[in-house]
């Protein structure tokens, strides 16, 4: 697993983000609900890590959890904070979307914004 900060650093060095829908999305009022996780991968498939929730001081490795997003809005906010200007959200369980940062973001230092849900 990687932290949000390391995720952003990897993206800016050319790695890709993969969004995975782990629970079928549904619309209630004007909000899409579901469950999504984000992974960082390389183009040849030899490196893949899940993005972890932020670890609090004093937590052990076993207490680190996979970061999940329960709304499409939360996921889009997280991806936007990572530098994506056109995030794509799969809505069906098992759906996946791989995204690359725009060329002008590669090599640019990541911001400290977290993009929490």
pLDDT above 80 (res 114): no
- Confidence at residue 56, expressed as pLDDT on a 0 to 100 scale: 54
- Confidence at residue 37, expressed as pLDDT on a 0 to 100 scale: 96
pTM greater than the 0.85 cutoff: no
DSSP string for residues in 55-98: PPTT--GGG--B-EEEEHHHHHHHHHHHT-SS-----STT-EEE
Higher-pLDDT residue of 55, 50: 50
pLDDT confidence band for 1 (50 / 70 / 90): confident
pLDDT above 80 (res 54): no
Least confident of 7-11, 54-58, 86-90: 54-58
Q: Which residues pair with 36 in a beta bridge?
A: 21, 69
pLDDT confidence band for 99 (50 / 70 / 90): very high
- Asked whether the beta carbons of 96 and 19 are under 8 A apart, the reply is yes
């Amino acid at each position: 697993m990687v932290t949000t900060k390391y995720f952003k650093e990897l993206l800016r060095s050319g790695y890709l983000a993969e969004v995975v829908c782990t629970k079928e999305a549904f619309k209630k009022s004007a909000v899409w609900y579901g469950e999504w996780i984000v992974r960082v991968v390389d183009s040849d498939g030899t490196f893949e890590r899940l993005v972890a929730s932020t670890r609090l001081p004093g937590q052990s490795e076993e207490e680190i959890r996979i970061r999940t997003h329960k709304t499409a809005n939360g996921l889009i906010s997280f991806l936007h904070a990572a530098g994506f200007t056109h995030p794509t959200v799969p809505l069906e369980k098992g759906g996946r979307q791989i995204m690359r940062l725009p060329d002008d973001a590669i090599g640019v230092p990541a911001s400290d914004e977290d993009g929490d849900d």
